[in-house]
A = this chain, B = another copy of it.
Amino acid sequence: MTRTPTIADVARLAGVGKGTASRAISGNGAVSPETLARVREAVAALNFRPSNAARALSTKRTGMVGIYVHDFAGDFFGPILQAVDGELRGANRHMVAANGCGLGVGAGPDDGDARQRALDGIRFLIERECDGVLVVSNALSSEDLDMLWSEKAPLVVLNQTSPSKPEHCFSTDHELAGRLAAHALLQQGHRELACISGLHTAPDNALRMAGFHAELAQHGVIIPPSHQREGQFSFDGGHAAAQALLAQGLDFSALFCANDTMAMAAIACLGKAGVKVPDQLSVLGFDDSVLARYTTPALSTVRVPSVDMAANGCRFLLNLCYGLTLPVQREFPPEVVWRDSVRPGPHANESTPAVQVKMARKRSPTFKA
């Protein structure tokens, strides 16, 4: 017969009941050693693979967990997907991914609003019967998350926190990270600054920039509105923002970009305009993505451990969905990494202002695993 074998075939060949075969194969329920061996033999002989659909129907678990990201391209998401897929396969589950961009042939990345696309993408995953879903989006409010948390699939959010379910959120301290960025620039003697922020609607961006400006203000430096631009976290946006900044004249010695993608584009723009980085202008990135080591010059940046964050969030979800007890960790401290794009600035010889960055560090509360 050419038909794919079912568990009934296995049972028959092994000379046992279907129930026993099932228990032997799935490992749920006791079977005698001899029976187990016979069933195993039959499985091997027939090259039997249990049907996931049938299993899903009777157990009400599909073994798949979904992940929603805004976008599959980009240096930020790739490594996260990689990490999640790794964890899942390690746990013998699998990943189904959705993103907020592709919704049919004609849809470009920008039609419809990002929030609705995120909601749709996540619901798609839930309707497809994922046992749990991971979301990394910056278009969702706390209320949106609350709504999502009331649906049937367990959901953990990455790169964002929410007061209502802090234990389901895995994020770095973006505010602290922003302070670290400010501190880095100040410490190098820069006080005339410009910055390119990400999407103004994104919570991580808001926290990051708030921390950045707060730390600056604490040391008496403020950035005039004309020197604050928004670059939507994209290459194009970063490039345009840098261009606009440049058009006003180069009366600042350092530029902070809210992610490495924009920093790379800014450097490209600067290069084209003939301004040397870091000789004439220092630029500091954010994320420490794969790009950062290989821009020209190599990017100094503040690193956030996004891969760890994703891996741990995923393990937490796995524990939640399948009753596992994988180790999960909740601290993902940002840190600045120095490469070649930031040089000492005009105020480098003044006494470095004392910084209280460390104060801002707070231990996160302990949760039941």
Q: Is A97 an interface residue (CB 8 A)?
A: yes
Q: Is A128 an interface residue (CB 8 A)?
A: yes
| CB <8 Å contact, A129 and B85 | no
Copy tally for this chain in the complex stands at 2
Q: Is A148 an interface residue (CB 8 A)?
A: no
Q: Is A249 an interface residue (CB 8 A)?
A: no
Instruction: Report the Cα distance A299→B236, complex, angstroms.
Output: 15
Q: Is A241 an interface residue (CB 8 A)?
A: no
| CB <8 Å contact, A82 and B97 | no
Q: Do A78 and B72 contact each other (CB < 8 Å), given the known contacts A96-B64, A294-B268, A298-B268?
A: yes
| CB <8 Å contact, B294 and A239 | yes
Residue of B nearest to A307 (CB): B73
Q: Is A160 an interface residue (CB 8 A)?
A: no
A53 cross-chain contacts in B, Cβ below 8 A: 53, 56-57, 62, 129
Q: Which of B4, B102, B294 contacts A85 (CB 8 A)?
A: B102
Residue of B nearest to A85 (CB): B102
Q: Which of B56, B62, B75, B297 contacts A271 (CB 8 A)?
A: B297
Q: Is A29 an interface residue (CB 8 A)?
A: no
Q: Which of B96, B104, B272 contacts A90 (CB 8 A)?
A: B104
Q: Do A85 and B97 contact each other (CB < 8 Å), given the known contacts A57-B54, A73-B78, A235-B290?
A: yes
Q: Is A335 an interface residue (CB 8 A)?
A: no
| CB <8 Å contact, A105 and B78 | no
| CB <8 Å contact, B94 and A95 | no
A 46-76 to B, binary, CB cutoff 8 A, 1 in contact else 0 = 0001011110110000101000000111110
Shortest A96–chain B CB gap in Å is 5
A 21-65 to B, binary, CB cutoff 8 A, 1 in contact else 0 = 000000000000000000000000000010111101100001010
Instruction: Report the Cα distance A351→B235, complex, angstroms.
Output: 39
Q: Is A196 an interface residue (CB 8 A)?
A: no
The 4 closest A-B pairs by CB, nearest first: A86-B102, A90-B104, A73-B78, A53-B56
- List 15 A-B residue pairs with CB atoms under 8 Å apart, sorted by A's residue number: A53-B57, A56-B56, A57-B57, A73-B75, A73-B79, A85-B97, A85-B101, A86-B101, A86-B103, A87-B105, A89-B98, A95-B97, A96-B97, A105-B311, A264-B294
Other contacts beyond A85-B98, A89-B103, A94-B98: 12, CB < 8 A = A72-B85, A73-B82, A77-B78, A81-B97, A85-B101, A86-B101, A89-B98, A97-B97, A235-B293, A265-B294, A267-B296, A268-B295
